[in-house]
């Protein structure tokens, strides 16, 4: 199994690297690839659209951090200033090759993975049970949203999508199976 957590969001502007990574992953021949990515649309070449989407997305992220972590928590300080601050700055203040962070929605990832002959797999019931458990028992869990988007899960805060979790499998080679009356194609 391959697990990719926020790895592709920094590669969208570098298609050659994404292509190379996907060839490497395919060469590993994993039974399953689990992908967690930012669920935002801040890849627009138009500054105003990118700014507005980034404002709403990271506004929800900061609100969730504020509700779940103490103001004096060192991890919070590092996350807000060290990680999210740099990401926001990169998305809003950089153009061209300097802009590395380029969040896109799940449908863009679906089209991308299909190009590499991958099929989306349904998340299993255990994943949904765990999400429901967090939603019901975590402090401020009532503000967390967990929704199904096709076969994937989208996790948000107060209705604003923050991340998607999807699972993928490489399309295996096809073989013809000659039955008594029918010819069918099976995928290995």
Q: Tokens standing for 70?
A: 């103490």
Taking the chain (188 residues) in runs of 10, the rounded mean pLDDT of each run is 92 91 92 95 93 96 92 92 92 92 95 94 95 88 93 96 96 55 44
SS3 string, the chain, reads CEEEECCCCCCCCCHHHHHHHHHHHHHHCCCCEEEEEEECCCCCCCHHHHHHHHHHHHHHHHHHHHHHCCCCCHHHHHHHHHHHHHHHHHHHHCCHHHCCCCCECHHHHHHHHHHCCEEEECCCHHHHHHHHHHHHHCCCHHHEEEEEECCEEEEEECCEEEEEEEEEEECCCEEEEECCCCEEEEEC
The pLDDT value recorded for residue 134 is 86
Q: What's the pLDDT tens digit per position in 87-135? A: 999 999 999 889 999 999 999 999 999 999 999 999 999 999 999 998 8
pTM: 0.85
The pLDDT value recorded for residue 141 is 87
- Given a contact cutoff of 8 angstroms between Cβ atoms, the answer to whether 151 and 165 are in contact is no
The pLDDT value recorded for residue 138 is 85
């Amino acid at each position: 199994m391959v697990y990719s957590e926020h790895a592709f969001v920094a590669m969208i502007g570098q298609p050659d690297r994404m292509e190379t990574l996907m060839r490497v992953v395919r060469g590993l021949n994993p039974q399953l690839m689990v992908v967690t990515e930012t669920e935002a649309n801040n890849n627009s070449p138009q500054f105003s659209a990118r700014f507005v989407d980034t404002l709403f997305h990271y506004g929800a992220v900061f609100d969730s951090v504020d509700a779940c972590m103490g103001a004096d928590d060192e991890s919070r300080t590092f996350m807000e200033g060290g990680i999210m601050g740099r990401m926001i700055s990169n998305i809003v203040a950089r153009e061209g090759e300097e802009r590395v962070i380029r969040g896109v929605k799940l449908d863009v990832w679906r089209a991308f993975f299909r190009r590499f002959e991958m099929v989306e797999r349904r998340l299993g019931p255990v994943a949904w049970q765990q999400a429901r458990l967090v939603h019901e028992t975590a402090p401020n869990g009532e503000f967390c949203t967990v929704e199904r988007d096709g076969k994937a899960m989208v996790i948000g805060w107060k209705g604003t999508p923050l991340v998607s979790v999807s699972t993928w499998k490489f399309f295996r080679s096809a073989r013809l199976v000659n039955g008594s009356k029918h010819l069918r194609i099976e995928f290995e």
